[in-house]
A and B are shown apart, each in its own frame.
Chain A
Amino acid sequence: MRTPFLVAGLGVLALLLEGALAEMLGVRWIPDFGLLVPIAAALWLGPVEGLLVAAAVGLAADTLSGSLLGQQTFLRLLEFAATRIVGSKLDLRRSLPLTVFVLAVGLADALAMGGLTRLFLGELPLSARQLAGLATRAAISALVAPAVAGMVRRMVERRGEFEARREMRLETRRPTF
């Protein structure tokens, strides 16, 4: 049960580092850990634990940024659900499908964030340069996604929960005499 807390802690720590790195390099060159950790949690944690991790990381991102409280949390919850649904059809635990999926989700997240901002805060002037910046960030996040998912996987493995699940999966393949 401690694993979700560790993963949520990792997510919050990553957000704090993201803020410091954004100060040095500019936000467009920094992976969106607030997006990557909930997706990794959806892949490697149980549904309830993963959902709570996504909510916690989203809330932390809302607090650390100028967005409305709940804005990024709302999107993280939807992205968590999308990952679970797509993950049941495709093997998102492999690097390439995960990279492509995160790229798509990253772009959708940027547009959804803009939509929510427009809905709640009024007019939203969006330049081509800004769109390019958001697309760059989605691409960088997609490239980093397998590493973040791997880190979460290792955390889960260390806590032993992964082993239990693997045994359950292996059991279905066991020959029955």
Chain B
Amino acid sequence: MSDFLRRIRLPLLFAGLLLITVVLMVGDRRKLQEGGSDHSWFGGALLELAVPVQKAAGSPADLLGEAWTRYVALVDIGRENEALQERIAELEEENVQFREALVASGNLQRIVAMREGFEVPLMPAQVVGQDVSGWFQSALLDRGQDSQVRSGMPVVNDSGLVGLVTATTPGAARTMMLVDRRSAADGIVQRSRARGMVQGTGSDHLQFVFMVRGDDVREGDLVITSGVGGVYPKGLRIGTVTSVQADRNQLLHTADVRPVVDFGRIEQVFVMLQRGPTMDLLYAGDGDEPEESEEDS
């Protein structure tokens, strides 16, 4: 009997592990659909460990780059440039918001309301690592729950929308980038107000699917977030239309969009410390609610 057990021990262990992985996949898929994305203690610990290790591994390249910026390419210019870039990012986003309000209604009060609505605190974070599989586009950030970063918060950089925080630990956060094939954002063409869905393709471009026939979408148009859907705030830049596939027999037309963000070279990003109402609903009750600031309470 013991000999028999010894013989089947390995196949039994193998089958058991395979079964566990299938159960994990089904469970994780369900969790993904419901919006929750808590890490197990193992996953959380690994992400916490990943931040310092990946930072250390990337530091030689960072040091070289920094040395060039700060010392070779003139002292202090780099530092000043960084501050200016941050300021430009803020101003550009504000500018897009103002133009949005003007185009949409021409109502000054609305502009003021949007301006106030856009004053969301931004948390700077560094991208320390990218997805190790070739199939998904996610990035690891060096800020987490300790910095008020929560799942469902949008991530931007000085160019535009980067993605969405999908999982957090005290010191790290994982971001699903906009180009990930599971990613989608409601977008509008800034010029013509044509509305549709911007979807990730898993490569370096996006697909804009617009629903109403006859919508005016041309090459070079800027696509921004519409704010519909309650995930991303209105007016974040997504990308520019590079080609349009408008088949008259099709109800849904598609356009290729080149993202304004260079996803292959993201270093510094900003997490918007306020998530949309849909994300609030999705993540409500999973212990991942943003803490109220003193001003709010």
Contacts and interface: CB of A to CB of B under 8 A. Distances in A.
Interface of A: 12-13, 15-24, 26-28, 30, 32, 34, 47-48, 51, 55, 58-61, 63-74, 77-78, 81, 110, 113-114, 116-117, 120-121, 124-127, 129-130, 133-134, 137
20 contacts: A16-B129, A17-B57, A19-B132, A21-B57, A23-B58, A23-B129, A30-B132, A60-B46, A64-B129, A65-B138, A66-B174, A70-B22, A72-B133, A77-B17, A110-B134, A114-B135, A117-B135, A125-B181, A127-B203, A130-B134
Scoring A64, A114, A116 by chain B CB atoms within 10 A of each residue's CB, the highest score goes to: A64
Scoring A24, A63, A71, A110 by chain B CB atoms within 10 A of each residue's CB, the highest score goes to: A63
Scoring B21, B57, B203 by chain A CB atoms within 10 A of each residue's CB, the highest score goes to: B21
Contacts of B39: 63
Interface of B: 9-10, 13-14, 17-18, 20-29, 32, 39, 42-43, 46-47, 49-50, 53-55, 57-58, 61, 127-140, 166, 174, 176, 180-182, 201-203, 264
B141 to A, nearest CB: 11
Nearest to A116: B25
B21 A74 contact: yes
Nearest to A55: B17
B201 A127 contact: yes
A121 B129 contact: no
A66 B129 CA distance: 12
B203 A24 contact: no
A69 B46 contact: no
A128 to B, nearest CB: 10
A116 B21 CA distance: 12
A8 to B, nearest CB: 12
What secondary structure prevails in chain B residues at the interface with A?
helix
Contact of A120 (B29, B61, B181, B264): B29
Contacts of B140: 19, 64
Nearest to A58: B21
B254 to A, nearest CB: 11
Contacts of A114: 135
B23 A15 contact: no
A86 B203 CA distance: 34
Contacts of B28: 68-70
B202 A48 contact: no
A125 B238 CA distance: 20
A47 B140 CA distance: 34
A63 B47 contact: yes
A113 B135 contact: yes
A174 B112 CA distance: 90
A121 B182 contact: yes
A65 B53 contact: no
A127 to B, nearest CB: 5
B132 A74 contact: no
Contact of B25 (A47, A59, A69, A127): A69
Given A64-B140, A77-B17, A125-B181, A48 B133 contact: no
A110 B134 CA distance: 8
Contacts of A113: 133-135
Scoring B39, B47, B58 by chain A CB atoms within 10 A of each residue's CB, the highest score goes to: B58
Nearest to B44: A63
B27 to A, nearest CB: 7
B58 to A, nearest CB: 5
A34 B25 contact: no
B24 A73 contact: yes
Nearest to B176: A66
Contacts of A120: 25-26, 29
B237 to A, nearest CB: 23
A13 B18 contact: no
Nearest to B139: A23
Nearest to A134: B134
